[in-house]
Amino acid sequence: MAVGTNNQRGQLVVESVLLLVVMIAVMTLMIKGLKNSDYVGNLSFKPWAKISGMVECGVWEPCGITLANGAGLFPNTRTLSLLPPPPPGGTTPGGE
């Protein structure tokens, strides 16, 4: 019974080494392929353009582009106010 156990241990070591070599080869090929392609750049930079557009300009488009209707999306070009708009007569609240 001890003789069969030694053979199994040897087979386990050989299979483990072979699996390790195969895994290293696959990982090396994957890393080399990712370095040569633009996949990682497309994964990170394209979505960031839309997110930065929402953060800076308030729309889901990249900032600094000109739309088809001629309007441009540029940061800090909108004027927002918490005050209500003035009435059509031109008088301010408070009777002045």
> Any idea how long the chain is?
96
Is the residue at 45 inside a domain?
yes
Q: How do residues 45-58 score in pLDDT, each as one tens digit? A: 777 777 877 777 77
pTM, entire model: 0.41
* 27 lies in the same domain as 46: no
Is the residue at 27 inside a domain?
yes
Q: How do residues 15-48 score in pLDDT, each as one tens digit? A: 999 999 999 999 999 988 888 777 777 777 777 7
Total domains in the chain come to 2
Q: What is the mean pLDDT of the chain?
A: 75
* 21 lies in the same domain as 42: no
Range of 24's domain? 1-37
Is the residue at 89 inside a domain?
no
Of 43, 79, 72, the closest CA to residue 61 belongs to 72
Residue 59 · residue 73 · CB < 8 Å:
yes
Taking CA 79 as the corner, what is the angle to CA 76 and CA 81, rounded to the nearest 5 degrees? Answer: 130
Give the model's pLDDT for residue 45. Answer: 75
* 24 lies in the same domain as 59: no
Is the residue at 63 inside a domain?
yes
Alpha carbon of 83 to those of 19, 58, 75, 79, 80: distances in Å? Answer: 69, 20, 21, 12, 9
Give the model's pLDDT for residue 25. Answer: 97
Of 66, 60, 34, the closest CA to residue 47 belongs to 60
Question: What band does 1 get if pLDDT is binned at 50, 70 and 90?
Answer: very low
* 43 lies in the same domain as 33: no
